[in-house]
Amino acid sequence: MQGTTIPMSSLMQSVGEVPPESVVFGHSEAMQALHARLQKVAAANVPVLIQGESGTGKDIIARMIHAASPWRSGPYVKVNCPAIPGTLLESELFGYERGAFTGAYGAKPGRVEMAHRGTLFLDEISELDLGLQSKLLQLLQDGQFCRIGAQEDKKVEVRIVCATNRHLETEIESGTFRQDLFYRINVVNLQLPPLRERRRDIQDLVAYFLEFYNRKYNCKTKPLSGELMDGFQKYHWPGNIRELENLVKRYVILGSEDAIAGELVASEPEYALPEINVDGPISLKKLTKQATQDLERRIILKVLQAHHWNRKKTARALNISYRALLYKIRDAGLPSNRVRRVPAPPVAVMEQGMAAD
């Protein structure tokens, strides 16, 4: 089993194409700070730990670190730790000597060695078992490692970048992750914010992916309507940028907003905490109002969907007037072919409509 190898061609990767920096970092404060940090650390050969929820761009950031480092022309070797079975991982990472185990007919270098004078990206680092964690610790401490079955240690110069979407501190508490290793890989920490905390970048990301996939699939799909863009702004984005990218891709291919509008609600969590900036003053009143509006929007959309977008039936089900429902649909930016472009009513009428429920 240990002798089974993964094809060499899949081991060394090029950094590949990444979106332009203006798209990757956008305008949100958290991403701007991250950009400044990345530029500083890329030049120094120190380990970097990238943390963030799934789909926030950890892979992209790892590639950017390599591309901005002095070893940018060296190898970029990515190891997706959970993708390689435990028994194989040690030989894949550290290599082996001839005769190290049954089936080891020749010596084979590991990915650590292949990353010499380049970057070793260890994705999902929390998946390494404790034995491999100690071998990695040795590599980080003195740049040395030992091939399986070898008599002597080897030396390697490599920049180590790790990523995880887990909270490693909790893993340390539960005894599945070594604290000393954590300190070694976490010399510089890059924390990627979830998309719901960088909403001002959503519009640019949508525009980028729209252009990208229109070009890729030779389509001419129009920009999203204001209503749907509003829905994008309010959505919780549990899958972060990956989810947004997939939605825009599907929209480009199918060419219809209705095909994706339903999804913005269907996978929304029951209770999503509104965005709270704890560094500044917090307005409880404003946040509560925002949360109530959000909840109202979700309820309306769910009932609309249940009644196949029949607004009369929906209004009846919700026990509000038909006109009040139209205003609410418009204010909530809900997408519907039938309600698109409801003209803005005069203020007096609006108040009357609102009072109806």
Ligand X SMILES: Nc1ncnc2c1ncn2[C@@H]1O[C@H](COP(=O)(O)OP(=O)(O)OP(=O)(O)O)[C@@H](O)[C@H]1O
- 75 part of the interface to ligand X, by CB under 6 A: no
- 52 part of the interface to ligand X, by CB under 6 A: yes
Q: Residue 196 binds which entry of ligand X, Mg ion, none, with Cβ cut-offs from 5 to 8 Å by kind? A: none
Map 3-67 to HEC letters. Answer: CCCCCHHHCEECCCCCCCHHHHHCCCHHHHHHHHHHHHHHHCCCCEEEECCCCCCHHHHHHHHHH
Choose between 59 and 113: whose C-beta lies nearer to Mg ion: 59
Instruction: Specify the 3-state DSSP secondary structure of 193.
Output: coil
Choose between 133 and 164: whose C-beta lies nearer to Mg ion: 164
Among 47, 57, 110, 353, binds ligand X (CB under 6 A): 57
- 242 part of the interface to ligand X, by CB under 6 A: yes
CB of 297 to ligand X, least distance (A): 26
- 196 part of the interface to ligand X, by CB under 6 A: no
Choose between 127 and 245: whose C-beta lies nearer to ligand X: 245
Show the site string, 116-155: x = touches ligand X by CB under 6 A, - = not.
Answer: ----------------------------------------
C-alpha separations of 267 from 163, 255, 285, 298 in Å: 26, 21, 27, 11
Q: Residue 23 binds which entry of Mg ion, ligand X, none, with Cβ cut-offs from 5 to 8 Å by kind? A: ligand X
Angle at 143 between CA 139 and CA 149, to 5 degrees: 60
Backbone angles phi, psi at 243, to 5 degrees: -65, -40
Q: Are strands 76-80 and 12-13 parallel, antiparallel or unpaired?
A: antiparallel
CB of 297 to Mg ion, least distance (A): 32
Instruction: Specify the 3-state DSSP secondary structure of 144.
Output: strand
- 243 part of the interface to Mg ion, by CB under 5 A: no
Contacts of residue 209, defined as CB under 8 A and 6 or more positions apart, other chains included, come to 244, 245, 248, 249
What residues are paired with 190 via a beta bridge? 50
Among 34, 58, 64, 185, binds ligand X (CB under 6 A): 58
Choose between 41 and 192: whose C-beta lies nearer to Mg ion: 192
- 193 part of the interface to ligand X, by CB under 6 A: no
C-alpha separations of 103 from 71, 86, 98, 100, 174 in Å: 35, 17, 9, 8, 37
Among 90, 113, 227, 245, binds ligand X (CB under 6 A): 245
Only one of the segments 54-62, 168-176, 252-260, 341-349 lies at the binding site for ligand X (rule: CB under 6 A); that segment is 54-62
Only one of the segments 52-60, 112-120, 281-289, 324-332 lies at the binding site for ligand X (rule: CB under 6 A); that segment is 52-60
Residue ranges in 259-318 that form contacts with ligand X under rule CB under 6 A:
none
Only one of the segments 87-95, 150-158, 241-249, 329-337 lies at the binding site for ligand X (rule: CB under 6 A); that segment is 241-249
Residue ranges in 45-74 that form contacts with Mg ion under rule CB under 5 A:
58-59
Comparing CA positions, the residue from 93, 120, 87 lying closest to residue 109 is: 93
Give the whole-angstrom CA distance, residue 26 versus residue 29.
9
Instruction: Specify the 3-state DSSP secondary structure of 329.
Output: helix
Residue type, 177: F
Place of tokens 């924390």: 191
Residue type, 48: V
Q: Residue 321 binds which entry of Mg ion, ligand X, none, with Cβ cut-offs from 5 to 8 Å by kind? A: none
Choose between 51 and 91: whose C-beta lies nearer to Mg ion: 51
- 165 part of the interface to ligand X, by CB under 6 A: yes
SS3 content of the chain, % helix, strand, coil (to 5): 50, 10, 40
Q: Footprint of Mg ion on this chain (CB under 5 A)? A: 58-59
Q: Footprint of ligand X on this chain (CB under 6 A)? A: 19, 23-24, 52, 54-60, 165, 241-242, 245
